[in-house]
Amino acid sequence: MYVDSGSRDMVPFLEVLDGMVKRGVEVRLIHAKDPGPNWRDDFDRYPTLWTAMRFACRRRRSGWPNERSE
């Protein structure tokens, strides 16, 4: 997913989140299902997010970072 950054045309949404985390913003992602393979591949390009982001999903856990089994 790409979003309008204001300074450039369109940038990956994960790039925006990566910049926010680097500025000290805590990011939590709430999702309805496990992310697909394309999103996971993109996520791997932003190592800052690997430990900084928290994920919340009410469905089955898949071993994503910071997820605890309930």
Find the domain containing 27 and state its range: 2-57
Taking residues 36-59, what's their average pLDDT? 77
Give the global pTM.
0.65
**Into how many domains does the chain fold?**
1
In this prediction, residue 3 carries a pLDDT of 87
Q: Within a domain: residue 66?
A: no
* Residue 65 is assigned to a structural domain of this protein: no
State how far the Cα of 12 lies from the Cα of 61, in Å rounded to an integer. Answer: 25
Whether 67 maps to a domain, the answer reads no
Q: Which residue has the higher pLDDT, 41 or 32?
A: 41
Average of per-residue pLDDT across 17-43: 83
For residues 13-48, one letter each, b for 16 or more C-beta atoms within 10 angstroms of the residue's C-beta and e for the rest, the string is: ebbbbbeebeeeeeeebeeeebbeeeeeeebeebee
Q: Mean pLDDT of all residues in the chain?
A: 76
